[in-house]
Amino acid sequence: MAIPSFLTIYNELISTPTISSVSNEKLDQPNRPVIDKLATWFNDLGFTISIEAVPNTRNKFNLLATYSNNDNHSQGGLLLSGHTDTVPFDEGLWHKDPFKLTEEDNKLYGLGSADMKGFFAFILEALRDMDLKKLTKPIYVLATADEETTMAGAAYFAKHTALQPDCTIIGEPTSLIPIRAHKGFISNSIKVVGKSGHSSDPDKGINAIEIMHLVVGQLLKLKQQFKDKYHNDGFTVPYPTLNLGIIHGGDAANRICGCCELVIDIRVLPENDIDTIFNLVCDTLKPVMDQYPNRISVEHAVIPIPGYECKKDNPQLQNIEKLLCKTAETANYSTEAPFLNKIAPTIVLGPGSIEQAHQPDEFISMDFLKPGKMTIEQLIKDFCL
Ligand SMILES: [Zn+2]
- What's the rounded mean pLDDT across residues 113-126? 98
How much distance in Å is there from the Cα of 338 to the middle of ligand 1? 14
* Rounded distance between C-alpha atoms, residue 329 and residue 231, angstroms: 17
- What's the rounded mean pLDDT across residues 369-381? 97
pLDDT at 347: 98
Q: How confident is the model at residue 108 (pLDDT cuts 50, 70, 90)?
A: very high
How much distance in Å is there from the Cα of 332 to the middle of ligand 1? 13
How much distance in Å is there from the Cα of 101 to the middle of ligand 1? 18
pLDDT in tens, 210-226: 999 999 999 999 999 99
How much distance in Å is there from the Cα of 176 to the middle of ligand 1? 14
Q: Is 147 a catalytic site residue?
A: yes
pLDDT in tens, 285-330: 999 999 999 999 999 998 899 999 999 999 999 999 999 999 999 9
Mean pLDDT of the chain: 96
Q: Which of 12, 28, 85, 362 is catalytic?
A: 85
Please report, as a single letter, which amino acid is at residue 246: I
How much distance in Å is there from the Cα of 167 to the middle of ligand 1? 19
How many alpha carbons fall within 13 Å on the CB side of residue 300?
12
pLDDT at 23: 82
Q: How confident is the model at residue 110 (pLDDT cuts 50, 70, 90)?
A: very high
Q: Which of 125, 147, 172, 362 is catalytic?
A: 147
Look at the chain and count its residues.
385
pLDDT at 42 over 80: yes
| Percent with pLDDT over 90 in the chain | 96
pLDDT at 145 over 90: yes
Q: Is 91 a catalytic site residue?
A: no
pLDDT at 22 over 90: no
- What's the rounded mean pLDDT across residues 345-369? 97
How much distance in Å is there from the Cα of 83 to the middle of ligand 1? 7
How much distance in Å is there from the Cα of 87 to the middle of ligand 1? 9
pLDDT at 73: 58
- What's the rounded mean pLDDT across residues 61-89? 91
How much distance in Å is there from the Cα of 293 to the middle of ligand 1? 42
- Name which residue leads in pLDDT, 354 or 332: 354
pLDDT at 356 over 90: yes
Contact 80, 141 (CB under 8 A): yes
pLDDT at 168: 98
pLDDT at 71 over 90: no
Query: What is the 3-state composition of the chain as percent helix, strand, coil, each rounded to the nearest 5?
Result: 35, 25, 40
* Rounded distance between C-alpha atoms, residue 256 and residue 21, angstroms: 36
How much distance in Å is there from the Cα of 48 to the middle of ligand 1? 25
Q: Residue 346 is inside which H or E element, if any? A: strand 346-348
pLDDT at 72 over 70: no
* Rounded distance between C-alpha atoms, residue 164 and residue 93, angstroms: 43
Rg, C-alpha atoms of the chain: 24
pLDDT at 1: 75
Q: How confident is the model at residue 66 (pLDDT cuts 50, 70, 90)?
A: very high
How much distance in Å is there from the Cα of 21 to the middle of ligand 1? 14
pLDDT at 74: 57
- What's the rounded mean pLDDT across residues 158-174? 97
Q: What pTM was computed for the model?
A: 0.90
pLDDT at 222: 98
pLDDT at 70: 82
How much distance in Å is there from the Cα of 190 to the middle of ligand 1? 29
pLDDT at 365: 98
Nearest to 139 by CA among 379, 340, 323, 320: 379
